[in-house]
A and B are shown apart, each in its own frame.
Chain A
């Protein structure tokens, strides 16, 4: 991973020479005259990504850029919720960092305090075959790019082929009725499935929106303001969930992000929705740990079933947030250019083993996909993402609803019997309306 520095230089130059149609705003090399950024500082807030090399590559990129430009670059890492708090703090005070990793909502919630990076986005799009729709939805506010998408972390159904087979299910079901049926059989065998229904900032979204949309439900109308959650589609989704919940492993309403991983790795659940971290963790330890090897050999990934309204998924999209309050706008841009350069992004993507996949259409034909056949499906998953807030764009109102876990709680309330499905939907409607009303001025 850490190349010899001179080699890095050389290979970059080679690429430049070979890139015949290199666009003017060069993403092939960060060609900064030594001195323009010398003495300036750049502070980057990042998360602790699962695959260690994705972190070290970021550090290396920062180091290389610092060396080339004379900037002093600091990458400070924070874990999930803490990163969000830290970012909020920077937004609120206008100090503390120049760039941060955020999620797509942040673009909308903080739009007024982010730099316009449309020109950079256009170049990246041109370079890599165009941005996919989800990317544009995640980063564009009012027609302008206010953040740059890093990639999304697709969550697939992780399932134990051996347990399914023992229960008489050979393939992962492709319909919701099929999934319900499989859940019943697995439960009877003592190997239930489980989906996260707790206040989990990661997994809490990936298990609910897909169901909602597959049955035709949606949160808002196209205007992004009219609450549309109370519909037959939503009710159908809730009712399906309530039925399958009986066959879940107990405890899912308390599941935070690590819990479904732990349950799966301990062979307590036969299927759950998660990014590729479970598989990667097992694969990493398979050589020394028999239990993990067993899991690696007997697990696979599958797509969401198709419902009456289609097949959907929802993933966290990570973006680079360029703070408007940063005194080093040039440094921000240089870093972003370096990140999206041809010498970095494809390699970084590949190293991530489809943990984060940039939504660039051109990547489909590039060598950024893992060789492992069990990870191949993430390539397809990359295409079906939809963002919360649907039928409208992701708005601060939708963001607030996500942060308050309204949708998760709606399903959870119905599943646990706290409210009837109808009442649960009505409850959610009321909550959404309250948020919309409060935000109607902004």
Chain B
């Protein structure tokens, strides 16, 4: 809550109104705008087909809810497989991106070596290259090493757009952490590497966490490579699998589609909610010191 006010300081005339105006009203707006569609997705996922395609029925509530669409999703499609695949790819890609990107970010922030500025710029610049430009040559490169038709190709390719991002984020973050503690440790006898591993990385945990979360989400959502580099149905990720099995020629199965959308996001959001508090407290530890 607001800090106690000194006498004479600004005092609102009606704290209740102020709260409604500045907190509850905007909150309602944001919730409706951001989360409203998910409510609607839920309704659609629970609506039987007869209600769904009846233009005269209200889309805002469901008269006779049914779990048929969810059941269809689990029984008649490979949804569970796709979630597992997407999870695996996202997790591994994120892990690789962090293992490669965090030390690189540290090096760019802390260590002076010839060409570091150039390397830093070059890494950031690769981030700009759009996927639509790269993906045909990329598929050809993967084909030439025989990796063009497997889900493991994604684990190799995703880091190409995750690593620059992580490096960038972490180098900025490390710059805001004072190097004093590491200098101390080095005087104590730790090597630079040791200082990085034992001092800097633990301090950077919030930053690493946020880099990890962002990377996971970016992997979770990727579509073009997931389509072109994977063929086997059993190896597909959610975006690709859903389209093929939940649409049939010119017919979309809206019920299961929305069920899939919910199941593909709500659990992840729940997991994220725990981390949001954690990393938010320290992402820009040094921002204030500026």
Selected from B232, B240, B244, the residue in CB contact (under 8 A) with A74 is B232
Contacting B at CB under 8 A, from A78-107, are 78-80, 82, 85-86, 89, 92-97
- State whether A48 touches B248 (Cβ < 8 A): yes
B191 within 8 A of A: no
Cβ 8 A contact of A96, one of B53, B136, B149, B245: B149
Q: How far is the CA of A265 from the CA of B149 in the complex (A)?
A: 39
A93 is contacted by which of B54, B139, B244 (Cβ under 8 Å)?
Answer: B139
Distance in angstroms from B49 CB to nearest chain A CB is: 7
A261 close to chain B: CB less than 8 A = yes
Instruction: Judge whether B248 and A274 touch: CB under 8 Å.
Output: no
B148 & A93 in contact (Cβ 8 Å cutoff): yes
Closest residue of B by beta carbon distance from A47: B249
* CB atoms of B231 and A277 under 8 A apart: no
Tell me if A243 counts as interface (CB < 8 A to partner B): no
Question: For A266, what are the chain B residues with a Cβ–Cβ distance below 8 Å?
Answer: 53-55
How far, in whole Å, are A32 and B54 apart by their CA atoms in the complex?
53
Give the residues in chain A near B49, CB-CB below 8 Å: 285, 289
Is A112 an interface residue when CB atoms closer than 8 A count as contact? no
Quick check: B53 and A262 within 8 Å, CB to CB? yes
A384 close to chain B: CB less than 8 A: no
Query: What's the A-B contact tally at a CB cutoff of 8 Å?
Result: 92
Contact between B227 and A86, CB atoms less than 8 A apart: yes
Contact A261-B250, Cβ < 8 Å, known A43-B231, A86-B231, A96-B149: yes
A258 touches which one: B143, B232, B251 (CB < 8 A)? B251
Contacts of A289 in B (CB 8 A): 49-50
The residue in chain A whose Cβ has the minimal distance to the Cβ of B224 is A85
Q: Is A394 an interface residue (CB 8 A)?
A: no
Q: A368 to B47: give the CA distance in the assembly, Å.
A: 38
> For residue A285, which residue of chain B has the nearest CB?
B49
Q: Within the assembled complex, what's the spacing in Å between the Cα atoms of A262 and B53? A: 7
Contact at B227–A49, with CB atoms within 8 Å?
A: no
Let me know if B233 is at the binding interface, CB within 8 A.
Answer: yes
Are the C-beta atoms of A261 and B251 separated by less than 8 Å?
yes
Chain B hits for A166, CB < 8 A: none
Chain B positions within 8 Å of A262 at CB level: 53
Residues 44-58 of A at the B interface (beta carbon under 8 Å): 45, 47-50, 52
A22-51 with Cβ < 8 A to chain B: 43, 45, 47-50
List residues of B (210-269) whose CB comes within 8 Å of A's CBs.
227-228, 231-233, 240, 243-245, 247-252
User: Which chain A positions have C-beta within 8 A of B231?
Assistant: 43, 45, 76, 86, 96-97
CA distance A265 to B53 in the complex (A): 7
Contact A291 B50 (CB under 8 A): yes
Task: Name the A residues within 8 Å of B54 (CB-CB).
Answer: 266, 291
CB-CB < 8 A to A261: which residues of B?
250-251
Contact between A82 and B243 (Cβ–Cβ < 8 Å)?
yes
Instruction: Report B137-152 CB contacts with A as 1/0, cut-off 8 Å.
Output: 0011001000011000
B222 CB, min distance to chain A CBs, angstroms: 14
Whether A95 contacts B143 in the complex (CB less than 8 A), given A77-B233, A268-B55, A289-B49, comes out as yes
A346 at the interface (CB under 8 A from B): no
User: Least Cβ distance of B65 to chain A in Å?
Assistant: 17
- B53: chain A residues at CB < 8 Å are 262, 265-266, 291
B243 interface neighbour in A79, A265, A268, A281, Cβ under 8 Å: A79
A95 to B247, CA, bound (A): 26
Q: Do A92 and B139 touch (CB < 8 A)?
A: yes
Q: Which residue of A lies closest to B228 (CB)?
A: A89
Within 8 Å of chain B (Cβ to Cβ): is A257?
A: yes
Does A219 count as interface, using CB distance less than 8 angstroms?
no
CA distance A45 to B230 in the complex (A): 12
Which of chain A's residues have a CB closer than 8 A to the CB of B250? 50, 202-203, 257-258, 260-261, 274-275, 277
Residues of B within 8 A of A82 (CB): 227, 240, 243-244
When chains A and B are docked, how far (Å) is the Cα of A290 from the Cα of B249?
24
- Chain B positions within 8 Å of A74 at CB level: 232
Q: How far is the CB of A59 from the nearest CB of chain B, in Å? A: 12
- Chain A: which residue is nearest B239 at the CB level? A82
> Could you give, for residues 149-192 of chain B, a 1 whenever the CB lies within 8 Å of some chain A CB and a 0 otherwise?
10000000000000000000000000000000000000000000
Instruction: Across the interface, name the chain A residue whose C-beta is closest to B242.
Output: A79
Bound Cα distance A47, B233 (Å): 13
A52 to B251, CA, bound (A): 12
Question: A281 vs B53: C-alpha distance in the bound complex, in angstroms?
Answer: 12
Q: B55 and A93: CB pair below 8 A?
A: no
Q: Which residues of B contact A118 (CB under 8 A)?
A: none
Residues of B within 8 A of A260 (CB): 250
Judge whether B140 and A76 touch: CB under 8 Å.
no
Known: A76-B231, A93-B143, A93-B148. A50 touches B55 (CB 8 A): no
Bound-complex Cα distance A262 to B252 (A): 9
Instruction: Judge whether A77 and B244 touch: CB under 8 Å.
Output: yes
How near does chain A come to B261, taking the closest CB pair, in angstroms? 16
Which chain A positions have C-beta within 8 A of B249? 47-50, 80, 202, 257, 275, 277
The reply to whether the CB of A267 lies closer than 8 angstroms to some CB of chain B is yes
Please give, as numbers and ranges, the residues of chain A lying within 8 Å of B252 by CB-CB distance.
258
B135: nearest chain-A partner, CB-CB: A89
Contact with B along A127-146 (1 / 0, CB 8 A): 00000000000000000000
- A85-B227 CB under 8 A given contacts A48-B245, A48-B248, A261-B251: yes
Cβ–Cβ < 8 Å partners of A97 in chain B: 231
Residue of A nearest to B243 (CB): A79
Which residues does B use to contact A, with CB under 8 Å? 49-50, 53-55, 136, 139-140, 143, 148-149, 227-228, 231-233, 240, 243-245, 247-252
Task: Write 28 A-B pairs (CB below 8 A) sorted by A numbering.
Answer: A43-B231, A47-B249, A49-B248, A50-B248, A50-B250, A74-B232, A76-B232, A77-B244, A79-B244, A82-B227, A82-B243, A82-B244, A86-B231, A89-B228, A94-B143, A203-B250, A258-B247, A258-B251, A260-B250, A261-B250, A262-B53, A267-B55, A277-B249, A277-B250, A285-B49, A285-B50, A288-B50, A292-B50
List of 6 A-B pairs having minimum Cβ-Cβ separation, nearest first = A266-B55, A50-B249, A257-B250, A93-B143, A89-B228, A79-B244
Besides A257-B249, A266-B55, 5 new A-B residue pairs in contact (Cβ under 8 A), listed by A number: A48-B249, A76-B233, A93-B148, A257-B250, A258-B250
